[in-house]
Amino acid sequence: MSSQPKNIVILISGSGSNMAAIVKAAQAQDWPRQWGARIAAVISNRPDAPGLQLAQSLGVVTQVLSHKDFDSREAFDAALMALIDGYQPALVVLAGFMRILTPGFVGHYAGRLINIHPSLLPAFTGLNTHQRAIDAGCRQAGATVHHVTAELDHGTVLAQAVVPVLPGDTADTLAARVLEQEHIIYPQAVRAWLQHQP
Protein backbone atom coordinates (compact mmCIF):
# COMPACT_ATOMS: atom_id res chain seq x y z
CA MET A 1 0.00 0.00 0.00
CA SER A 2 1.41 3.41 -0.88
CA SER A 3 2.09 5.91 1.89
CA GLN A 4 0.20 8.59 -0.03
CA PRO A 5 -3.44 8.49 1.14
CA LYS A 6 -6.03 7.85 -1.55
CA ASN A 7 -8.28 10.85 -1.07
CA ILE A 8 -11.86 10.61 -2.28
CA VAL A 9 -13.86 13.77 -3.01
CA ILE A 10 -17.63 13.41 -3.34
CA LEU A 11 -19.75 15.96 -5.23
CA ILE A 12 -23.43 16.38 -4.35
CA SER A 13 -26.33 18.70 -5.16
CA GLY A 14 -29.15 17.32 -3.01
CA SER A 15 -29.95 14.92 -0.19
CA GLY A 16 -26.63 13.13 -0.33
CA SER A 17 -28.04 9.66 0.33
CA ASN A 18 -25.54 7.93 -1.96
CA MET A 19 -22.73 10.00 -0.45
CA ALA A 20 -23.82 8.90 3.02
CA ALA A 21 -23.88 5.26 1.92
CA ILE A 22 -20.28 5.57 0.71
CA VAL A 23 -19.09 7.41 3.84
CA LYS A 24 -20.75 4.87 6.14
CA ALA A 25 -19.21 1.98 4.19
CA ALA A 26 -15.79 3.63 4.40
CA GLN A 27 -16.17 3.97 8.16
CA ALA A 28 -17.62 0.50 8.77
CA GLN A 29 -15.03 -1.25 6.58
CA ASP A 30 -12.11 0.94 7.76
CA TRP A 31 -11.01 2.02 4.30
CA PRO A 32 -8.09 4.08 5.72
CA ARG A 33 -6.54 0.93 7.21
CA GLN A 34 -7.63 -1.46 4.46
CA TRP A 35 -6.72 0.60 1.39
CA GLY A 36 -5.20 3.83 2.64
CA ALA A 37 -8.32 5.63 1.43
CA ARG A 38 -10.36 8.35 3.08
CA ILE A 39 -13.30 10.56 2.25
CA ALA A 40 -11.43 13.86 2.13
CA ALA A 41 -14.34 16.21 1.41
CA VAL A 42 -17.92 16.57 0.24
CA ILE A 43 -18.51 19.50 -2.11
CA SER A 44 -21.88 20.87 -3.20
CA ASN A 45 -22.83 23.41 -5.86
CA ARG A 46 -25.91 24.23 -3.77
CA PRO A 47 -25.51 25.91 -0.37
CA ASP A 48 -28.92 24.55 0.71
CA ALA A 49 -28.18 20.91 -0.16
CA PRO A 50 -29.37 18.76 2.78
CA GLY A 51 -26.45 16.42 2.13
CA LEU A 52 -24.03 19.02 3.51
CA GLN A 53 -25.42 18.70 7.03
CA LEU A 54 -25.55 14.95 6.63
CA ALA A 55 -21.86 14.86 5.67
CA GLN A 56 -20.96 17.07 8.62
CA SER A 57 -22.87 14.77 10.96
CA LEU A 58 -20.73 11.90 9.64
CA GLY A 59 -17.56 13.86 10.38
CA VAL A 60 -16.65 14.78 6.80
CA VAL A 61 -15.28 18.16 5.72
CA THR A 62 -17.73 20.06 3.50
CA GLN A 63 -17.32 22.87 0.98
CA VAL A 64 -19.78 24.89 -1.09
CA LEU A 65 -19.10 26.35 -4.52
CA SER A 66 -22.27 27.80 -6.00
CA HIS A 67 -22.50 27.66 -9.79
CA LYS A 68 -24.65 30.79 -9.60
CA ASP A 69 -21.54 32.79 -8.70
CA PHE A 70 -20.01 32.17 -12.13
CA ASP A 71 -20.79 33.59 -15.55
CA SER A 72 -20.12 30.40 -17.48
CA ARG A 73 -20.01 26.64 -17.10
CA GLU A 74 -16.30 26.73 -17.94
CA ALA A 75 -15.55 29.28 -15.21
CA PHE A 76 -17.43 27.24 -12.61
CA ASP A 77 -15.73 24.01 -13.63
CA ALA A 78 -12.29 25.66 -13.47
CA ALA A 79 -12.98 26.87 -9.93
CA LEU A 80 -14.39 23.49 -8.97
CA MET A 81 -11.27 21.75 -10.30
CA ALA A 82 -9.07 24.05 -8.23
CA LEU A 83 -11.12 23.31 -5.12
CA ILE A 84 -11.08 19.55 -5.69
CA ASP A 85 -7.38 19.47 -6.54
CA GLY A 86 -6.61 21.03 -3.18
CA TYR A 87 -7.46 17.62 -1.74
CA GLN A 88 -5.16 15.74 -4.19
CA PRO A 89 -7.92 13.28 -5.06
CA ALA A 90 -7.30 9.73 -6.19
CA LEU A 91 -11.00 9.51 -7.04
CA VAL A 92 -13.84 11.99 -7.62
CA VAL A 93 -17.31 10.59 -7.01
CA LEU A 94 -20.47 12.19 -8.44
CA ALA A 95 -23.32 11.39 -6.05
CA GLY A 96 -26.37 13.26 -7.28
CA PHE A 97 -24.29 16.14 -8.62
CA MET A 98 -26.75 17.79 -10.98
CA ARG A 99 -24.40 19.55 -13.35
CA ILE A 100 -23.32 18.62 -16.85
CA LEU A 101 -19.54 18.85 -16.70
CA THR A 102 -17.37 20.40 -19.40
CA PRO A 103 -15.02 18.20 -21.46
CA GLY A 104 -12.07 19.97 -19.83
CA PHE A 105 -13.25 18.94 -16.37
CA VAL A 106 -13.94 15.36 -17.44
CA GLY A 107 -10.57 15.10 -19.17
CA HIS A 108 -8.74 16.44 -16.12
CA TYR A 109 -10.06 13.54 -14.02
CA ALA A 110 -10.03 10.89 -16.73
CA GLY A 111 -9.99 7.42 -15.20
CA ARG A 112 -10.74 8.71 -11.71
CA LEU A 113 -14.21 10.25 -12.09
CA ILE A 114 -17.25 8.03 -11.52
CA ASN A 115 -21.00 8.53 -11.44
CA ILE A 116 -24.14 6.56 -10.68
CA HIS A 117 -27.06 6.69 -13.10
CA PRO A 118 -30.60 5.44 -12.33
CA SER A 119 -31.00 3.13 -15.32
CA LEU A 120 -29.42 0.04 -16.80
CA LEU A 121 -27.07 1.81 -19.17
CA PRO A 122 -26.86 2.04 -22.11
CA ALA A 123 -30.66 2.27 -21.82
CA PHE A 124 -32.24 5.60 -20.83
CA THR A 125 -29.35 8.02 -20.63
CA GLY A 126 -30.24 11.49 -19.38
CA LEU A 127 -33.26 12.40 -17.26
CA ASN A 128 -36.67 10.95 -16.30
CA THR A 129 -35.27 7.42 -16.49
CA HIS A 130 -37.90 5.71 -14.34
CA GLN A 131 -40.92 7.08 -16.21
CA ARG A 132 -39.26 6.27 -19.52
CA ALA A 133 -38.64 2.68 -18.41
CA ILE A 134 -42.29 2.32 -17.38
CA ASP A 135 -43.54 3.93 -20.60
CA ALA A 136 -41.37 1.58 -22.65
CA GLY A 137 -42.91 -1.45 -20.97
CA CYS A 138 -39.62 -2.60 -19.44
CA ARG A 139 -39.83 -5.51 -17.03
CA GLN A 140 -36.59 -4.51 -15.39
CA ALA A 141 -34.93 -1.27 -14.39
CA GLY A 142 -31.95 -0.51 -12.21
CA ALA A 143 -28.84 1.56 -11.66
CA THR A 144 -25.35 1.74 -13.15
CA VAL A 145 -22.03 2.93 -11.72
CA HIS A 146 -19.78 4.07 -14.56
CA HIS A 147 -16.68 6.03 -15.44
CA VAL A 148 -17.53 9.54 -16.62
CA THR A 149 -16.54 10.48 -20.15
CA ALA A 150 -17.27 13.52 -22.30
CA GLU A 151 -20.30 11.70 -23.74
CA LEU A 152 -23.18 11.78 -21.24
CA ASP A 153 -23.76 8.46 -19.42
CA HIS A 154 -21.52 6.47 -21.78
CA GLY A 155 -18.42 5.56 -19.76
CA THR A 156 -17.23 2.06 -18.87
CA VAL A 157 -19.71 0.27 -16.61
CA LEU A 158 -18.29 -0.62 -13.17
CA ALA A 159 -21.38 -2.10 -11.50
CA GLN A 160 -25.11 -2.58 -12.11
CA ALA A 161 -28.11 -3.55 -10.04
CA VAL A 162 -31.37 -4.82 -11.50
CA VAL A 163 -34.83 -4.33 -9.98
CA PRO A 164 -38.17 -5.53 -11.37
CA VAL A 165 -40.69 -3.06 -12.74
CA LEU A 166 -43.87 -4.07 -10.94
CA PRO A 167 -47.47 -3.74 -12.15
CA GLY A 168 -48.82 -0.39 -10.99
CA ASP A 169 -45.35 1.11 -10.50
CA THR A 170 -45.06 4.88 -10.72
CA ALA A 171 -41.84 6.74 -11.39
CA ASP A 172 -41.64 7.45 -7.65
CA THR A 173 -42.16 3.88 -6.44
CA LEU A 174 -39.68 2.56 -8.99
CA ALA A 175 -37.17 5.28 -8.09
CA ALA A 176 -37.37 4.38 -4.40
CA ARG A 177 -36.66 0.73 -5.14
CA VAL A 178 -33.77 1.60 -7.44
CA LEU A 179 -32.30 3.99 -4.86
CA GLU A 180 -32.11 1.19 -2.29
CA GLN A 181 -29.90 -0.72 -4.72
CA GLU A 182 -27.83 2.39 -5.50
CA HIS A 183 -26.91 2.58 -1.82
CA ILE A 184 -25.57 -0.98 -2.06
CA ILE A 185 -23.68 -0.96 -5.35
CA TYR A 186 -22.09 2.51 -5.19
CA PRO A 187 -19.98 1.81 -2.07
CA GLN A 188 -19.13 -1.62 -3.52
CA ALA A 189 -17.97 -0.07 -6.79
CA VAL A 190 -15.80 2.52 -5.01
CA ARG A 191 -14.28 -0.21 -2.84
CA ALA A 192 -13.58 -2.36 -5.91
CA TRP A 193 -11.91 0.60 -7.61
CA LEU A 194 -9.70 1.10 -4.55
CA GLN A 195 -8.73 -2.57 -4.45
CA HIS A 196 -7.34 -2.30 -7.97
CA GLN A 197 -5.17 0.72 -7.24
CA PRO A 198 -1.44 0.24 -6.49
Contact 142, 161 (CB under 8 A): yes
- At residue 22 the predicted structure's pLDDT band, cuts being 50, 70 and 90, is very high
Q: Percentage helix, strand, coil, to 5, in the chain?
A: 40, 25, 35
Query: Which domains does the chain possess?
Result: 6-115+145-154+185-195 (3.40.50.170)
- Active-site annotation, residues: 117
Residue 82's Cβ-count burial label (10 Å; 0-12, 13-18, 19+) is exposed
pLDDT for residue 1: 44
pTM of the model: 0.95
pLDDT for residue 3: 59
- At residue 198 the predicted structure's pLDDT band, cuts being 50, 70 and 90, is confident
Beta strands (DSSP E) in 13-112 are 37-44, 62-64, 89-94
pLDDT in tens, 150-173: 888 889 999 999 999 999 999 999
Return d(Cα 113, Cα 119) in angstroms, integer.
Answer: 19
